Amino acid sequence: MATNLFSWIKQNLFGQISCQRCIELLELITDGEASLEEEQQFRKHIDECLPCYETFNLEKSIKEMLQTKLEKKQVPDDLIQSIKKKIRNTA
Amino acid sequence: MPAEKLKQNYSSQEKEHIFEHEFLPHIDSMYNFAYRLTFDEDDAKDLVQETYLKAFRFLNSFQQGTNAKAWLFRILKNSFINDFRKKSKQPPKVDYQEVETFYNSDNVDVSMTTDLRVETVQHMIGDEVSNALNALAVDFRTVIILCDLEGFTYEEMSKILDIPIGTVRSRLHRARNLLKEKLQAYAKSMGYNK
């Protein structure tokens, strides 16, 4: 309870969040789902906390890796034509 | 969602226009999603074709100008689960027990167990990333594809998957932890981490 009160005071009076709260916000931030206030609290925290900063970088780099390194399959040339043909036949 | 229930009455010209300009531009993402679900080019092709035919058949339930991509992904995912997986000879790759345990909680657990490093991740090549992602059960793989590859919001994912946003978050969190485990194991086997 005392710890909770301490976190509450830090968060609400000084805008500081705990590492636990920071980790909770991590995915919301990387996914662009955090509110402006959450984003500000988060940025302030990782400016001062190296472990959380590193965890954030890892999370970001995994997301980037997925976006840039996975091979994109080429849509087969005949697929669109085949869909259109089927639609014409059923219409 | 009353808007979704409103039936439209499009003329054949309007239908053709919507199909051409709102649905077909997403075929690239749809095909890649289908391929990542089925791991087979022919199956992916059939699944995409089936999805587009259904989308055309139910076009009157689509409201022009709304999120066509999410609507199409929803149809594709339902076709995969309801029709396609039954027809396929492959056994389902979902570990339901594992999945259920985590779906029943809306709380996002904040455990960080990985000692995966940014440099390791940056050195991974496409095949390694692909193998790690493909090793995940289909429901976990799906949320990562929707969120990280296709950029859907939690709300859109919640509609595509028919689950509450809290479940989207916990499933995504669990999926990412599993992916990290796979990447970590891979990195270790390749001697990337000391």
Confidence bin at A7 (pLDDT 50/70/90): confident
| Residues of B in Cβ contact (< 8 Å) with A32 | 153
C-beta atoms of B35 and A73 within 8 A? yes
C-beta atoms of B41 and A73 within 8 A? yes
- Distance (Å) from the C-alpha of residue A28 to the closest C-alpha of chain B? 9
C-beta atoms of A62 and B179 within 8 A? yes
Compare CB distances from B144 to A66, A69, A75 and report the shortest one's residue. Answer: A66
| Residues of A in Cβ contact (< 8 Å) with B38 | none
Chain A contact present for B173, CB below 8 A: yes
Would you state the structure tokens that stand for residue B64, as one six-digit string?
């022009």
Confidence bin at A15 (pLDDT 50/70/90): low
- The domain defined by B96-189 folds into Arc Repressor Mutant, subunit A (1.10.10)
Contact A30, B87 (CB under 8 A): no
What letters, b where the CB count within 10 A reaches 16 and e where it falls short, cover B178-188? Answer: bbbbbbbebbe
Q: What is the pLDDT of residue B186?
A: 86
Would you state the structure tokens that stand for residue A11, as one six-digit string?
């968060």
Spans of all domains in chain B: 2-87, 96-189
What span, in angstroms and rounded, lies between the C-alpha atoms of B187 and B193?
6
What span, in angstroms and rounded, lies between the C-alpha atoms of A61 and A67?
10
Question: Which has the closest alpha carbon to B133: B161, B93, B76?
Answer: B93
Chain B contact present for A35, CB below 8 A: no
Tokens 């009076």 correspond to what residue?
A: A13
- Over its length of 194 residues, how does chain B's per-residue pLDDT go in tens digits? 455 567 888 998 999 999 999 999 999 999 999 999 999 999 999 999 999 999 999 999 998 889 999 999 999 999 999 877 676 655 555 554 455 454 444 444 445 556 789 998 988 888 999 999 999 999 999 999 999 999 999 999 999 999 999 999 999 999 999 999 999 988 888 777 54
C-beta atoms of B154 and A33 within 8 A? yes
Question: Which has the closest alpha carbon to B136: B48, B36, B47?
Answer: B36
Q: What is the pLDDT of residue B93?
A: 52
Q: What is the pLDDT of residue B104?
A: 47
Q: What is the ipTM of this complex?
A: 0.84
Mean pLDDT of all residues belonging to chain A: 89
- Mean pLDDT confidence for A27-38: 96
| Residues of A in Cβ contact (< 8 Å) with B144 | 66
Candidates 1.10.3080.10, 1.10.1740.10, 3.40.50.11540, 3.40.640.10; CATH matching B2-87: 1.10.1740.10
